[in-house]
Chains A and B, each alone.
Chain A
Amino acid sequence: MIQALAFYLFAIVVIVSGAMTISSRNPVHSVMWLILAFFNAAGLMVIVGAEFIAMLLVIVYVGAVAVLFLFVVMMLDIEVASIRAGVARYAAIGLALAVALAAEMMIALGAWSAGKIDLTRRIAPVDATVPNIQAMGNLLYTRYLFVFEGAGLVLLVAMIGAIVLTHRDRSGARYQNIARQNARRPQDATRNVKPEIGQGVQL
């Protein structure tokens, strides 16, 4: 009972916030609605027992991707009116994509109910009593430890590469020197003058 209630709650909020994401006038609001959609999708994942995916959704999508979106949206000066103007122009393409997507879903559903291709020589049988985070951790840190560490090295290379290719020392830049600022005394920096009328000041 409670599961059904929770499911309908999460599902309705996902659909509503999804609709609001594409229809809200302010792009910042769109991103906020998107975050709400992610959270509720995570709730749905918890209900089906995929708590690892739920955590991924919250940590990766909400924590990183959506925040990045928010930054980008806030940096860009987006004119909603000009985007709206394009809707009519691209309606046909959008509709075609939607039809293709719907058709694919039908085909997938049909194939699924017709039976599956034989893909079932699993090396890691799923044990229903083990939570999937624990099952995944067991594999990642024992059997696949070497590959896992290798993937870590790949990320390290990506980081080094990004820094090597973009970082440069700006020799002409003027950095703030706080010590010098603090050491500066009023009598060195300012001077009291009383200019004659019409004479101006000597700088």
Chain B
Amino acid sequence: MSYAANLAMTLPELVLGLGAIALMLVAAWGGQQSTRAVSIASVFVLAGACVALAGPASSGGAAFDGLYRADAFAAFAKVLIYVASAVAIIMAPDFFRRTAGDDLKPEYPVLILLSACGMGIMVSAADLLTLYVGLELQSLAAYVLASFMRRDTRSAEAGLKYFVLGALASGILLYGISLVYGFTGTTLFDGIAGAYAATPMSGEAKSLGLLFGLVFIFAGLAFKLAAVPFHMWTPDVYQGAPTPVTAFFASAPKVAAIGLATRVAIEAMGSATDQWRQIVIFAALASIVLGAVAAIGQSNVKRLLAYSSINNVGFALVGLACGTPEGVSGVLTYMVIYIVMTLGSFLVVLQMRDETGEPVESIASLSGLSRTRPGLAAALAIFMFSLAGIPPLFGFWAKFAVFDAAVKAGLFPLAAVGIAASVIGAYYYLRIVKTMYFDDPAPAFPRSENKVEGGLIALSAVFVSPLGYLLIPALGVWTTAAAKALF
């Protein structure tokens, strides 16, 4: 295959990589004044990458001798990643302008672009090397973004914690990769799949090396996903990082990590499904339960949303645990709806500020929001009801899709426990609604003059409202096509 054909399949990454380098040069010469121009240009670069997905990048198959796969699954995940990244860029300027201390620097959108490039590589990875390079590109940019507010000690703490624990996770993942490479002799997913199919996974003749490799790889991926028991860094990092960065962490990298985990599980280790299913089921149930229980005592809204993200990753993993095309399409459906709900919630959190304009993060400051800012309160209520999975809202459909797949795959206990635990989760989502609608009003948040953020909140609220059900046929076709690409 010629270089041109290979490069055409990696066009989205090319657009992002070259765009980021060009914008970095603009930032280097333009300095602080170029922030606005670089931000706007970055959103266009992300849109360009979305357009670039239309060609061979979504249907080309294997590129670079099988190191990279351009299929419908990757394209679907990439669209989600690019949209979430663009929203993270759009919501940043207002936040940094209002917060005392550090200004938004033009490197912020550049780092998001590079991170998005890494996430694209992650979901397209068909080789352990590609997987690792993509993961590191995404993570390294994320560490810098977490400590972007240099004068804020909590932001620095978040960056350091994320860096140290992320490096540990990379170490665990690399150890697993080295075992798998050692015992299969290849890093290509196809080759690994062949080796796993040829080796018995239980009984006397089982290969301990392959099993250990599988366990370590899944542990490393669970760390990146923030699934229990590898979730400890999440609340601190989410609370300390600047809010737009937290919104970014809770959306795009989750899609990338779950896309990566799905591809590794199905494509590389599909014949060892019974082995990894135990790990995924445990991580799913533990995440759902711990995410729900630990969130109850939180008083900081960003911390609460961190536990909410842990909880939601658990639900998405329920779909992965099925290991069937329905399960994978359920995961994708879940991620679409989850991203919109999460970004919407964080956009509302961005509107929370006292009269001087400084951001406030306590749940108590939401008291009586329905009387001071009825629109905002209604939007947040929609997101909370939807995150809780209460039927008329679109969040219900997400949970329904994964649990339906779990039941069809015969995983009745998993579905039953998951549904029971989602009721616990509903408690703290509804507590926020109760605070907004039934408590005495706290000082009102000043109105935002930012039309774009208001528009995005309205758009995401409409998406997760019952109107979203109109999208189900289209969403079903896309997710099924994407899931079929893996099997």
Residues of A whose CB lies within 8 Å of any CB of B are: 117, 119-123, 143-147, 149-151, 153-154, 156-158, 160-161, 163-165, 168
A163 to B114, CA, bound (A): 16
How near does chain B come to A15, taking the closest CB pair, in angstroms?
31
The chain A residue with its CB closest to the CB of B7 is A146
A120 and B110 alpha carbons, distance in the complex (Å): 43
**Residues A150 and B186 in contact, CB atoms below 8 Å apart:** no
Cα of A118 to Cα of B136 in the assembled complex, Å: 30
What is the CB-to-nearest-CB distance from A187 to chain B, in angstroms, rounded to a whole number? 39
- Which residue of the partner chain A has the closest CB to B106? A164
B140 adjacent to A164 (CB under 8 Å): no
How far apart are the CA atoms of A153 and B136 in the complex, in Å? 10
Q: Mark B300-331, 1 if CB is under 8 A from A, else 0.
A: 00000000000000000000000000000000
Task: Identify whether the interface residues of B are mostly helix, strand, loop, or mixed.
Answer: helix
B56 proximal to A (CB < 8 A) = no
For A154, the chain B residues whose CB sits under 8 A away are 118, 133, 136-137, 140
Chain A positions within 8 Å of B67 at CB level: 143-144, 146-147
Q: Which of B1-40 contact A (CB under 8 A)?
A: 6, 10, 17, 21, 24
Asked if B144 and A157 make an inter-chain contact with CB atoms under 8 angstroms apart, the answer reads yes
Give the size of the chain B interface in residues (CB under 8 angstroms): 42
Pick the residue among B21, B65, B134, B188 that contacts A156 (CB under 8 A). B21
Q: How far is the CA of A158 from the CA of B111 in the complex (A)?
A: 10
Cβ distance A48 to chain B, nearest Cβ, rounded Å: 23
Q: Which of B177-185, B277-285, B400-408, B440-448 contacts A (4 or more CB under 8 A)?
A: B177-185
**B 42-69 contacts with A by CB, 8 A:** 63-65, 67-68
Residue B251 at the chain A interface, CB threshold 8 Å:
no
Choose one: A117, A122, A146, A158; the contact of B64 (CB below 8 Å).
Answer: A146
Given contacts A154-B136, A154-B137, contact A145 B64 (CB under 8 A): yes
A124 nearest CB across to chain B (Å): 10
Separation of A122 and B182 alpha carbons in the complex (Å): 10
A157 touching B114, Cβ below 8 Å: yes
Interfacial chain A residues near B130, Cβ < 8 Å: 146-147, 150
Residue among A117, A122, A161 having the largest count of chain B Cβ atoms under 10 Å: A161
Contact check: which of A153, A156, A158, A165 meets B147 at CB < 8 Å?
Answer: A165
* Contact indicator A123/B186 (Cβ below 8 Å): yes
Task: Give chain A residues whose Cβ lies under 8 Å from the Cβ of B105.
Answer: 164
Contact with A along B259-299 (1 / 0, CB 8 A): 00000000000000000000000000000000000000000
A119-B65 contact in complex given A150-B133, A150-B137, A165-B150, C-beta closer than 8 Å: no
Query: Of B107, B129, B134, B182, which contacts A164 at CB under 8 A?
Result: B107
Q: A147-B129, A147-B133, A164-B107 are in contact. List 20 more A-B contacts (CB 8 A).
A: A117-B182, A117-B209, A119-B183, A119-B185, A120-B185, A121-B195, A123-B186, A144-B64, A146-B10, A146-B64, A147-B127, A150-B133, A154-B133, A156-B24, A157-B111, A157-B137, A157-B140, A161-B143, A163-B107, A164-B148
